[in-house]
Structure 1
Amino acid sequence: MATLEDISVSAFINILSAFAFLLAFAILRLQPVNDRIYFPKWYINGSRQSPYHSSNSNGNIVEKFVNLNFKTYLTFLNWMPQALKMSESEIIQHAGLDSAVFLRIYLLGLKIFGPIAILAILVLIPVNVSGGTLFFLRKELVISDIDKLSISNIRPKSEKFFVHILMAYLFTIWTCYMLYKEYDRVAFMRLHFLASQPRRVDQFTVVVRNVPRVSGHSISESVDHFFRTKHPDHYVGHQAVYDANKFAKLIRRRNRLQNWLDYNQLKFERNPDKRPTKKKGFFGLWGEKVDAIEFDKEQINRLDKTIASERNRILKDPKSIMPVAFVSFNSRWGAAVCAQTQQSKNPTLWLTDWAPEPRDVYWRNLSIPFVSLSIRKLVISISVFALVFFYMIPIAFVQSLANLEGLEKVAPFLRPVIEVKVIKAFLQGFLPGLALKIFMYILPTVLMILSKIEGHLAISVLERKAAAKYYYFMLVNVFLGSIVTGTAFQQLHSFLHQSPTQIPRTIGVSIPMKATFFITYIMVDGWAGIASEILRLKPLVIYHLKNIFIVKTERDREKAMDPGSVGLPETLPSLQLYFLLGIVYSVVTPILLPFILVFFGFAYLVYRHQIINVYNQEYESVAAFWPQVHSRIIASLLISQFLLLGLLSTKKAAKSTPLLVVLPILTLWFYKYCKSRFEPAFRKYPIEEAMEKDLMERASEPNLNIKAYLADAYLHPIFHSFEDVEMTEIRVDKNQSHVKTPSTSEDNSPSPPHYVYYQYEKSPFLMASSASSSSSAPKILLAKPGLSNNSSNESNPNPNLRSRLPPLQSLNLLSSDSWNLHIDRVLPFLTENTEFKVVGVIGPPGIGKSTILNELYGFDSSSPGMLPPFGIQSEETRAMARHCSSGIELRVSAERIILLDTQPIFSPSVLAEIMRPDGFSTISLLNGEALSAELAHELMGIQLGVFLASICHVLLVVSEGVHDINMWRLMLTVDLLKHGLPDPSSLLPSHSQGSHLGPEKENKDNVQEVGEGYLATPIFVHTKLQDKELSPSNIRRLSSTVSKYFSSSSFAEMKYENSPKEQISSIGSSNIKLDRGSTGMNLFVLPRRDQDDAHGAHYESYTTMLGNLRDQLLSMDCQPFAKAVSEREWLKNSARIWEMVRKSPVITEYNRTLQNSGMFRR
């Protein structure tokens, strides 16, 4: 039995281990080379840039890997207060409700055990110490000084047991009170989270399983017919599910080949004089040496044909369609009725349930039939039962180490080794808990596999089921196994040498003696183990190994980050075990409670830090795991009460023991009450609430196209690249899929539904055509071909549909959060083509910038179900004073026009986003200098203007009305501050990676003089003009004003070859065209959008004039770059120009002038 000295040694070792882990973490997280390991959450959000491309390194390669700023090491513990700064509401917004509620479990532990520990230490420990009964048992049992602090030290029949019973009641009442408050709070948070969220596709969708096969009809046809007849008023459509396992393997293989091709192309770009080569043999180790780029392209083209063939086979083979479908309804009410009712007389057919959110679906289990589910669950239950008892053997061995004195009597030859003081203290105080931890480490993976075999559809359900199995396992093996097995080993000699009537008394006295083992377990698992969690040693090692041997591109580096998640299958059972230990031993051995409190407090701090900076949850279950947590804590209460009953029965406390009988009954009543009061909020969706939300939505958005919104939400991964090929929208015309597709064979094999794919790049395996036709096609970023006219004539989708698309911010050229350029995101979509045109736009919010770019893109808004490449401000967004565009968004049209949409200038919503509570900006604009938000907002517009004027062929300067000249003033400032910046073709080749640049002098050395005076061709567009403002005289007056305003600017000196002699504007029914002024300024005006519907309009409509703008802009000549440059070279050099803009001494000096002017906060 471990003594106080052994516990002290264990505490010293674990505290030292925890401190070493924390110290290592504090140092490692400051190193730039480890930044992606300890802050991956911010990289995923796009708000953090790799230190590899930091501009503050001044060319020092060492600083890219090692932090040489020794002042930062003085504040190496500042991560602790930083982890506590973010509020709960901010955590919900940042990481989701699941993460916030998970943290509340640790707070609940502190709230429960804090007062209990104080009361137990002040009351129970003095009572236990005064008992003195173990003094008389020292010759019979192996005991320690810690046992004198437990209930075992109370004499039989003592009236002091009334104190323990009173404490048991008080502890139970307090625990139930805190559980009730927490359940009420979490239920409120869940309902509020659901109510405040925008519409979710899973609110309108039901998953139906075990669809019966009908002769002569496909599964898809059967689903469509069943729901059309059973739910005629609310059924919208369905998505069939395909078995695509082989297809997935081909996709992963293609992605690997594409990754090698990207790597070899980047390698060739860095060293154009030498083309990369490889050997054709196994892993490139032997065989004929060939050109690596051409070989990879040939392999990809060959694989594309195989993929296209496999895709066609899947779509045509009726066996590939699984008896499962995702059925969508036009209202939440219709979905709720279907999901929560029985659909068929046969209860084993047409099984419906709420569909998980799309990212939560575990696709492999969708094909499991109902009968197989029952068999699987039975087999897994038997397997889990066997696994629990199989693990009793190593658990028994581990517990035998906890009492070396007992082993000495059985194996005397070990005594010389065991009696060594250091070895003895180490074995008893540290090794048992560590060995048990190792045994338990591999269990979650095994239990998750068993849960998957059971056939659950959602990843969140799989994790909760695995967590439940793990809890039962820990309850039986770690808790009960430790007590029973440990007691049997310890008391074996005593049992064999005393009468049978004394055995119950010995067991009752010995159970509390296992507290010493659990104290060591808590210190190993809850102290050192939690500290090792924040160190992330395994991800750290794996990341650097991948970085050395596997990572070839920036995309590989992002994959290697492995942020992980909270890991509910492992953390929830461990948490519940600590609740069990604290509740059970709060009355029996209260000295254990301080160790529990240290665990909850330390773990709360660590996991808060990890959730904020590291973890990236795979799904959002809206705290669906909370009822399980609540029930486990109630079970802990019941277990503690029954154990206390059994213990007191051995103490012959006949007077006090019956008083405990009422306590389990009251606890069960409390559990039933909470279950009926709160659990429905986690299990059902009220019909009343569904109807209310539907009515509110119809009132606020009467023209919502719900079918287009739900069309592709649950598209099977067969139609996606399983790795990196991102898709904007995949539209499924479900209503037409079974009517207009003729049968292709006599056995009525199903024809595929009518899918129209809009992908970022033309990918052969997503097209029905052969791969050869697509291999030579240029990549089109967000290219959206027109739909055929045989689809339903629905209204245009609501702009809010963009919220369901893949996160387009991940393709932003410029991140609005970090103000850094990310060329790796869009570089794969650009080619070596030199015949391209770059068009940028700049202007205030809500004046139609994105609409103009959509027209230049060639977007057809009349096609149903298609979404614009650039987001358009909706009524809801406008009412909430928010902007749509952030940073710089890049799209490429079919004509190879690179379009750059920027965040609005002079925008209150942008200012609100970057403003900290102290009035300073959240982002750094000039070499890390802290600026006031107002000044930073001003400089953001200037930097955007200077940057666009340097890299674009055409710059659209958009203003509202004829009287707003704020954008003119901005362009004069841009002209003033653009001194010394080249065009993208005038930079010498750079051998540095990414966008990292050296000092200003180094940049100038890489600039050819021919490009220093370059300026993009400006086109001043004034929108939202009234009908009377469109008269020829008003337009002439506006043109004259523009010419005079810019007469002394660089824009007035611009000359082009083949310059048009007429302004690019066609106005009015008389088709008046104006001569360009002497300044060569281009002016275009657009009427209000409602001009299209105005009966009394005297001039051309908005649509017509917008089309004229597109036609004339595409045909006009503009300021060329100094020399020919490819799309990819343009992008890379633009990144270098952006660094020049950010470090421009002219702009920096202008910033100081603004600061000294007193107009902005200092």
Structure 2
Amino acid sequence: SDSTEDSDFPIPFSRDSYQNRWRRWAGRLGLDFAIAGLKLVNKQLDVALEEVVGATMSSTGYVTFLDLSSTTCAASAPLTVKANVLDVSVAPEPRDIIWKNAHISKRSQLRRGNFTNFFLFLGVILWSFPLAAIQAFAKAEFLAQIPGMEWILTFHGGTFTNFMNGYLPVVALLCLILILPLIFEYVAVSYEHRKTYSDVQSSMLSRYFYYQLANIYVSVTAGSILKSLSDILDHPSNILQLLGDSLPTMVGYFDALLVTKIMAGLPMIFLRFGALSRMLFLKTLSNEKKMTQRELDAVYRLENVQYGWEFPTQLLVVVIVFTYAIICPVILPFGLLYFLGALLVYKKQVLYVYSPVYESGGAMFPVVVQRTLFGLVCGQMTFIGYVVTRGCYYQPICLFPLPIGTIWAMNFFRQNYADPSTRLSLERARECDRLSSSKAATEEDGLDSNIDRGVELRRTKFDRKSYRQPVLTELATEPEFYRSGFQDDETFAVRKQLQRINRYIKEATLEHNDGLKDALFPM
């Protein structure tokens, strides 16, 4: 091959000049553009085929470091010149990962997320139809048509009918609202394939909040979002007047809503109605003596705070109070009672009942702050519209800077606090590494600074299986005892037998491997 090369290209580097000459001619003919187009089409076909048939490998990987400086540099610096090829970020906690969705590509997630947001937006537009049905059918007259319920119309001289007509729509609306988080959670996990539990809760929080805003400002107040949009499109300058005319008439409805949440919502949270119902249901249909320890652990399993459920509930009350605080101050005592009760209930639940199943590093707090300020903007705009409807034209000029200042504060908090908090700065990372590496051991703790400090300490305590699929790292399971803390002879004997079987399998495997080694590499 050397002689052939010398005869064909006797001049050094002549092969490169020969290839470059052909490339120049191909470029003049436009062949390089055609070849690049074919490569792009081939790549797109491979991506589409993987999405239909299934990817041969995961598009998500985890790289672990032993120092914070390397982690910060890898997560912040662009690692490749090609755009949209490699997306690097700080990995979540292993317990926060939904491993069945870890292999889904980012492109597939974005496409499914866009479809979901589009259909949920249509749901917001059509949200007035189920609410109109509630207002039409949630009445005592319809309940009286049920056999045996005719007494509702005549009980206590008809006063009970007025009570039912006032509170039955509120209760029906609360029941309808409680179904929404279940739908949002199922869509986020099973359709969008979000990869972390914190991301699922964050999506539930945002979508639930916007549906409740639609409930307050569009569906309940204007009667129909389509009607409101037509009025706004015909007269864009009347958007504030539309809000100012409609919202004050609904203060009685929202007072009843807050009273219902105080008298029924908070006690149900305090009693943990869902966990209580599950426990009573299982105990009613099962015999505790015949249940295994795993089944009992499932009944009394640990529960984390469902941020996607709890935060929007508080934000709903916040937006209602912001909206009616000046227009109808009668709502303020009800808001005060609710938040006093919520402080007692949630403080007790968080300190003594809920147990953290995963850790997200406070990722929900910036989202809640942004939604709270957005609710404040809605309340300010509503009050400006209310002032305009009362024939005041100078006061809105003085009030108009308020929503602008609130929006500026939202952007300021996001740019200066929320976005920087998502990753550690290189300066702080180097300080932490330097402190952990240079901290000298004292005589009292008896630690060697070279081994028990800094990187060496993290290397010895590092778990290599933290970011591996749990199904690939699980050890051989053993039967548990009948009850935790008490040994029974039958389970103990089975464990001994399994240990002997596993020991025999291990020895047989070693002998088989030694035999193969002798056969392949005879001495």
Q: Same-fold call, TM > 0.5? A: yes
Q: Mapping of 1:342-357 within 5 angstroms?
A: 342-357=78-93
1:621 aligns to 2:369 (yes or no): no
Structure 1 position 352, deviation (Å): 1.2
Structure 1 position 354, deviation (Å): 1.1
Q: Deviations over 1:164-215 (max 9, x none)?
A: xxxxxxxxxxxxxxxxxxxxxxxxxxxxxxxxxxxxxxxxxxxxxxxxxxx9
Q: Deviations over 1:123-176 (max 9, x none)?
A: xxxxxxxxxxxxxxxxxxxxxxxxxxxxxxxxxxxxxxxxxxxxxxxxxxxxxx
Secondary structure, counterpart of 1:329 in structure 2: coil
Contact 2:68 2:433 (8 Å CA) reproduced:
yes
1:423 aligns to 2:171 (yes or no): no
RCO (CA 8 Å, sep 6+): is it higher in 1 or 2? 2
Which residue, 212, 219, 226 being the options, matches 1:481? 219
Report the structure number with the largest CA radius of gyration: 1
Contact 2:242 2:385 (8 Å CA) reproduced:
no
Q: Deviations over 1:732-769 (max 9, x none)?
A: xxxxxxxxxxxxxxxxxxxxxxxxxxx4xx45xxxxxx
CA–CA distance in structure 2, aligned partners of residues 389 and 370 of structure 1:
29
Contact 1:582 1:593 (8 Å CA) reproduced:
yes
The one-letter code of the counterpart of 2:398 is L
1:386 aligns to 2:134 (yes or no): no
Q: Mapping of 1:101-116 within 5 angstroms?
A: none
The one-letter code of the counterpart of 2:180 is L
Query: CA 1:780/1:606 → structure 2, altered by over 3 Å: closer, same or farther?
Result: closer
Contact 1:522 1:595 (8 Å CA) reproduced:
yes
Contact 2:293 2:484 (8 Å CA) reproduced:
no
| Other-structure match for 1:78 | none
CA–CA distance in structure 2, aligned partners of residues 439 and 334 of structure 1:
49
Query: CA 1:537/1:375 → structure 2, altered by over 3 Å: closer, same or farther?
Result: closer
The one-letter code of the counterpart of 1:533 is I
CA–CA distance in structure 2, aligned partners of residues 833 and 666 of structure 1:
68
Q: Mapping of 1:333-344 within 5 angstroms?
A: 333-344=69-80
Query: CA 1:589/1:417 → structure 2, altered by over 3 Å: closer, same or farther?
Result: same
| Other-structure match for 1:527 | 263
Contact 2:201 2:307 (8 Å CA) reproduced:
yes
Higher strand share: 1
1:564 aligns to 2:300 (yes or no): no
Contact 1:404 1:418 (8 Å CA) reproduced:
no
Structure 1 position 384, deviation (Å): 1.0
Count of equivalent residues: 408
Query: CA 1:372/1:401 → structure 2, altered by over 3 Å: closer, same or farther?
Result: same
Which residue, 471, 480, 487 being the options, matches 1:718? 471
1:454 aligns to 2:192 (yes or no): yes
Which residue, 62, 77, 82 being the options, matches 1:326? 62
Secondary structure, counterpart of 2:89 in structure 1: strand
Contact 1:486 1:514 (8 Å CA) reproduced:
no
Contact 1:466 1:569 (8 Å CA) reproduced:
yes
Q: Deviations over 1:578-619 (max 9, x none)?
A: 111111111111101111111111111112222233222221
1:470 aligns to 2:208 (yes or no): yes
Contact 2:221 2:247 (8 Å CA) reproduced:
yes
Contact 1:398 1:435 (8 Å CA) reproduced:
yes
Q: Deviations over 1:804-844 (max 9, x none)?
A: xxxxxxx9xxxxxxxxx952489897337999xxxxxxxxx
Query: CA 1:372/1:380 → structure 2, altered by over 3 Å: closer, same or farther?
Result: same
| Other-structure match for 2:423 | 684
Q: Mean Cα displacement is larger for which, 515-524 or 367-376?
A: 367-376
Secondary structure, counterpart of 1:324 in structure 2: coil
Contact 1:403 1:428 (8 Å CA) reproduced:
yes
1:540 aligns to 2:276 (yes or no): yes
Q: Mapping of 1:568-579 within 5 angstroms?
A: 568-579=307-318
Q: Deviations over 1:951-994 (max 9, x none)?
A: xxxxxxxxxxxxxxxxxxxxxxxxxxxxxxxxxxxxxxxxxxxx
Q: Mapping of 1:1024-1035 within 5 angstroms?
A: none
Q: Deviations over 1:405-448 (max 9, x none)?
A: 9xxxxxxxx9x959963333222331121000111111101111
Q: Deviations over 1:294-330 (max 9, x none)?
A: xxxxxxxxxxxxxxxxxxxxxxxx9664222111123
The one-letter code of the counterpart of 1:636 is G
Query: CA 1:454/1:503 → structure 2, altered by over 3 Å: closer, same or farther?
Result: closer
Contact 2:132 2:223 (8 Å CA) reproduced:
yes
Query: CA 1:826/1:705 → structure 2, altered by over 3 Å: closer, same or farther?
Result: farther
CA–CA distance in structure 1, aligned partners of residues 122 and 494 of structure 2:
62
Q: Mapping of 1:876-955 within 5 angstroms?
A: none
Q: Mapping of 1:1064-1103 within 5 angstroms?
A: none
1:395 aligns to 2:143 (yes or no): no
Contact 2:128 2:224 (8 Å CA) reproduced:
no
Structure 1 position 392, deviation (Å): 2.0
CA–CA distance in structure 2, aligned partners of residues 519 and 680 of structure 1:
37
Query: CA 1:385/1:833 → structure 2, altered by over 3 Å: closer, same or farther?
Result: closer
CA–CA distance in structure 1, aligned partners of residues 487 and 116 of structure 2:
44
Contact 1:464 1:625 (8 Å CA) reproduced:
yes
CA–CA distance in structure 1, aligned partners of residues 224 and 253 of structure 2:
9
Query: CA 1:780/1:670 → structure 2, altered by over 3 Å: closer, same or farther?
Result: closer
Q: Mean Cα displacement is larger for which, 349-358 or 394-403?
A: 394-403
CA–CA distance in structure 1, aligned partners of residues 469 and 427 of structure 2:
32
CA–CA distance in structure 1, aligned partners of residues 217 and 266 of structure 2:
20
Q: Deviations over 1:194-249 (max 9, x none)?
A: xxxxxxxxxxxxxxxxxxxxx9xxxxxxxxxxxxxxxxxxxxxxxxxxxxxxxxxx
Q: Mapping of 1:185-204 within 5 angstroms?
A: none
| Other-structure match for 2:374 | 635
| Other-structure match for 1:1062 | none
Q: Deviations over 1:556-578 (max 9, x none)?
A: 21221144322111111111111
CA–CA distance in structure 2, aligned partners of residues 561 and 388 of structure 1:
37
Structure 1 position 681, deviation (Å): 4.7
The one-letter code of the counterpart of 1:350 is L
Secondary structure, counterpart of 1:590 in structure 2: coil
The one-letter code of the counterpart of 1:327 is V
CA–CA distance in structure 2, aligned partners of residues 580 and 387 of structure 1:
21
Identity of aligned residues (%): 22
Query: CA 1:341/1:713 → structure 2, altered by over 3 Å: closer, same or farther?
Result: same
Secondary structure, counterpart of 2:361 in structure 1: coil
CA–CA distance in structure 2, aligned partners of residues 828 and 339 of structure 1:
53
Query: CA 1:705/1:609 → structure 2, altered by over 3 Å: closer, same or farther?
Result: closer
| Other-structure match for 1:584 | 323
Contact 1:527 1:599 (8 Å CA) reproduced:
no
TM-score for both structures, normalised by structure 1: 0.33
Query: CA 1:376/1:504 → structure 2, altered by over 3 Å: closer, same or farther?
Result: closer
Structure 1 position 641, deviation (Å): 1.4
Q: Which runs of 5+ in 2 are unaligned?
A: 1-42, 44-53, 142-149, 232-237, 440-448, 498-502, 504-523
Structure 1 position 390, deviation (Å): 3.5
Contact 1:512 1:589 (8 Å CA) reproduced:
yes
Structure 1 position 476, deviation (Å): 0.8
Secondary structure, counterpart of 1:354 in structure 2: coil
CA–CA distance in structure 1, aligned partners of residues 74 and 166 of structure 2:
58
The one-letter code of the counterpart of 2:409 is F
Secondary structure, counterpart of 1:676 in structure 2: helix
Which residue, 83, 92, 113 being the options, matches 1:377? 113
| Other-structure match for 2:450 | 702
Query: CA 1:654/1:404 → structure 2, altered by over 3 Å: closer, same or farther?
Result: farther
Higher helix share: 2
Structure 1 position 680, deviation (Å): 3.9
Secondary structure, counterpart of 1:673 in structure 2: helix
CA–CA distance in structure 1, aligned partners of residues 197 and 240 of structure 2:
46
CA–CA distance in structure 2, aligned partners of residues 431 and 686 of structure 1:
54
Q: Deviations over 1:363-396 (max 9, x none)?
A: 1222222321231121111121122233321112
CA–CA distance in structure 1, aligned partners of residues 293 and 342 of structure 2:
34
The one-letter code of the counterpart of 1:598 is L
CA–CA distance in structure 2, aligned partners of residues 384 and 466 of structure 1:
12
